Amino acid sequence: MDKLTMAHEMALKIAESGVSVDICAGLGWRYADAMQAEADKRQGGVPEAILKASNSSQLEWQPDWSVAPKHMNYFFMDRNGSKFWTVNEPDKPNRTEHVMNFTDCGGDCYAYASDQDYKGDWRNSLRKRPEMEVERRG
């Protein structure tokens, strides 16, 4: 299957959940790029060092931004395995000490993200919403 067809099919699936067309298209292409990179890697077509060096943001794990609250810009998992969406980048103590003290915002600046399947080291879990989606949400 070619990348255009793959991106189109994924965008249609995402659109079924009510996500905006702009976000669907972007996610569809990211999915197709990631699938193509994985296929190339498995076939030995592209050396792994090149894959990691070239546009690694598309190759690394990303949360499902389509289910994140629209105003949340970051995902992270703390050392206890709890997963969160946040508006602002959490500071180091919030990521390492399980100190979720967001009382200043009345709970509007974070949300639990327990439905995300991140399985890596919690220290590497911080992800920022792709700029393309941040611009289109605003």
70 and 55 fall within a common domain:
no
35 and 72 fall within a common domain:
no
69 and 133 fall within a common domain:
yes
52 and 86 fall within a common domain:
no
How many whole angstroms separate alpha carbon 34 and alpha carbon 32? 5
- Supply the pLDDT for residue 53: 47
Counted domains in the chain: 2
3-state secondary structure of 76: strand
Domain final residue, candidates 32, 59, 86: 59
| 93: containing domain | 65-137
Q: For each successive 10 residues of the chain (138 residues), what is the average pLDDT? A: 74 76 73 76 58 52 93 89 88 59 62 90 90 55
55 and 74 fall within a common domain:
no
Nearest Cα to Cα of residue 121 among 61, 54, 31, 48? 61
128 and 80 fall within a common domain:
yes
- Supply the pLDDT for residue 94: 57
72 and 121 fall within a common domain:
yes
Nearest Cα to Cα of residue 83 among 71, 58, 100? 100
pTM for the whole structure = 0.50
- Supply the pLDDT for residue 72: 92
